[in-house]
């Protein structure tokens, strides 16, 4: 499959590099500084079209709008749940590929400040092939461009119903605003474009999201983890482990056959030692599969003695799957084993079950159906 989108009549402004845009502007007699204005404006969360770039002369705005699309996303279908705190969208790209992103809001408690997390995709589909994941079952489409990655974040700022853009203010939401690469795809199998997207998201002239509020998740691509140490040391790392023995992980996370658990954990330890950033070990709990006491003890041993924490995630089952999530009693029992070993452990809040919020589920539900722009309400 190609790793580039099929070109339409207009390229998306988010996918145009500064050099090419500068040359395009120069051919029209415009100064070079206009390129920075156009790109910064196109990444402005409150902008809803290229016509909103009011620091450009009106004739130039018209020329830019004639030559470029405002977003690489050509249509979206979103569902809302949890009383408006959770929303999931399937986005259609110019070549017909579909990807997913999720918005999760967490209200303030007491005198604290609420926070917002956006989960985004790095590939159309995924080649890792984890059998419990709807994305893995769908197969691999292609790599996403950096622009297609960033446009998922901008979608949630610009959605008129959710109006996330209205919350965007310096010193406010930015301090409690997180981006996680935990949607469709394996980010470190698209490492160059993902790293470029992280730098765009972090750019203070654009969205300005702090590097420490961005998390890249991987199923265990060891060379990519080592590149993160050198190139993105302030960005958080999450490793999707899902098993404590190689025999079981070979089945649940097939990439383990290339980089087994010992190599993946060693890479995580290198990251923690070099960056002094705590690594998150993600563990989806599947009833009767990876939630036995021996797996809990093995995970506790793997996580002991270095800067990490364990994040337990009860499986959100996919339609037709033979597996289901561990029940609440089993989750508490598994977590207790980790805690007794002195390892920090959290249990992820399960959100959006009624809108197929697990990775790849809504995409599968809408397969073959046209994508609109409406945001249907789903009862919480």
pLDDT at 379: 32
Least confident of 48-52, 129-133, 264-268, 353-357: 353-357
- pLDDT over threshold 90, residue 3: no
Domain for residue 264, yes or no?
A: yes
Mean pLDDT calculated for residue range 70-87:
87
Q: Copy the structure tokens of residue 211.
A: 């590097």
Give helix 222-231 / helix 191-202 axis angle, nearest 10°: 30
- Is 359 assigned a catalytic role? yes
One domain for residues 142 and 59: no
Between strands 177-181 and 214-218, the pairing is parallel
Mark which of 43, 67, 91 sits at the end of a domain: 67
Least confident of 30-34, 318-322, 349-353: 349-353
Q: Which residue has the higher pLDDT, 204 or 362?
A: 204
Provide the whole-model pTM.
0.87
Report DSSP state, residue 288. Answer: T
pLDDT at 173: 42
One domain for residues 21 and 157: no
CATH code for position 56: 1.10.150
pLDDT at 111: 64
What is each CA distance from 65 to 8, 33, 114, 135, 350, in whole angstroms? 14, 18, 36, 34, 41
Q: Which residue has the higher pLDDT, 206 or 34?
A: 34
CATH code for position 219: 3.20.20.70
Domain for residue 376, yes or no?
A: no
What is each CA distance from 355 to 96, 181, 366, in whole angstroms? 22, 20, 12
Mean pLDDT calculated for residue range 238-261:
97
One domain for residues 197 and 211: yes
Domain for residue 370, yes or no?
A: no
Domain for residue 63, yes or no?
A: yes
CA 44 to CA 36: how far, in whole Å? 12
Q: Which 3-state string (H, E, C) describes 134-171? A: HHHHHCEEEECCHHHHHHHHHHHHHCCCCCHHHHCCCC
Q: Which one from 92, 100, 148, 186 is the annotated catalytic residue? A: 100
Mark which of 67, 89, 108 sits at the end of a domain: 67
pLDDT digits (tens, 9 = 90+) for 193-246: 999 999 999 988 888 899 999 999 999 999 999 999 999 999 999 999 999 999
One domain for residues 59 and 77: no
Percent of the chain with pLDDT over 70: 83
Query: What average pLDDT is seen over the chain?
Result: 85
Minimal CA–CA distance to 108: which of 158, 180, 170, 173? 173
CA 53 to CA 58: how far, in whole Å? 9
The residue written with tokens 């654009």 in the block is: 206
Number of domains in the chain: 2
Range of the structural domain that residue 33 is part of: 17-67
Least confident of 100-109, 119-128, 239-248: 100-109
pLDDT digits (tens, 9 = 90+) for 308-342: 999 999 998 766 668 889 999 999 999 999 999 99
Point out which residues pair with 117 in neighbouring strands: 104, 178
CA 91 to CA 75: how far, in whole Å? 6
Percent of the chain with pLDDT over 90: 63
One domain for residues 128 and 182: yes
- pLDDT over threshold 50, residue 175: no
One domain for residues 178 and 96: yes
CA 243 to CA 311: how far, in whole Å? 13
Name the 3-class secondary structure at 233: coil
Work out the pLDDT band at 109, boundaries 50, 70, 90: confident
One domain for residues 56 and 160: no
């Amino acid at each position: 499959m190609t790793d580039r989108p099929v070109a339409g009549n207009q390229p998306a402004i988010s996918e145009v590099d500064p050099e090419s845009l500068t040359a395009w502007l120069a051919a029209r007699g415009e100064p070079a500084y206009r390129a920075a204005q156009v790109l910064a404006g196109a990444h402005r969360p409150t902008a809803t079209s290229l016509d909103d770039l009011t620091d450009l002369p009106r004739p130039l705005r018209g020329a830019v709008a004639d030559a470029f699309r405002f977003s690489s996303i050509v249509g979206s279908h979103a569902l809302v749940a949890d009383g408006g705190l959770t929303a999931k969208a399937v986005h259609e790209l110019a070549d017909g590929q579909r990807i997913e992103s999720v918005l999760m809001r967490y209200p303030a408690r007491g005198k604290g400040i609420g926070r917002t997390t956006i989960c985004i995709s790095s590939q159309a589909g995924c080649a890792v092939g984890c059998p419990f994941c709807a994305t893995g079952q769908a197969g691999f489409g292609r790599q996403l461009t950096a622009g297609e990655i960033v446009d998922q974040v901008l979608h949630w700022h610009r959605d008129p119903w959710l109006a996330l853009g209205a919350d965007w203010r310096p010193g406010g939401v930015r301090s409690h605003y997180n981006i996680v690469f935990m949607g469709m795809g394996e980010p470190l199998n698209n490492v160059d474009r993902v790293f470029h997207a992280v730098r765009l998201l972090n750019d203070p002239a654009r969205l300005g999201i702090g590097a420490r509020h961005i998390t890249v998740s991987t199923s265990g691509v060891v060379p990519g983890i080592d590149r993160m140490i050198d190139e993105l040391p302030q960005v958080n790392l999450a490793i999707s482990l899902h098993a404590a023995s190689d025999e079981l992980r070979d089945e649940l996370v097939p990439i383990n056959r290339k980089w087994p658990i010992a190599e993946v954990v060693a890479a995580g330890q290198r990251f923690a030692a070099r960056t002094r950033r705590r690594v998150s070990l993600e563990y989806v709990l599947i009833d009767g599969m990876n939630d036995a006491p021996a797996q809990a003890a093995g995970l506790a041993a793997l996580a002991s003695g270095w800067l990490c924490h364990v994040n337990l995630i009860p499986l959100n089952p996919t339609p037709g799957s033979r597996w289901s999530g561990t029940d609440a009693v089993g989750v508490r029992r598994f977590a207790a084993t980790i805690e007794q070993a002195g390892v920090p452990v959290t249990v992820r809040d399960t959100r959006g079950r009624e809108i197929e919020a697990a990775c790849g589920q809504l995409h599968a539900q809408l397969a073959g159906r046209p994508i609109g722009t409406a945001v249907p309400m789903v009862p919480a």
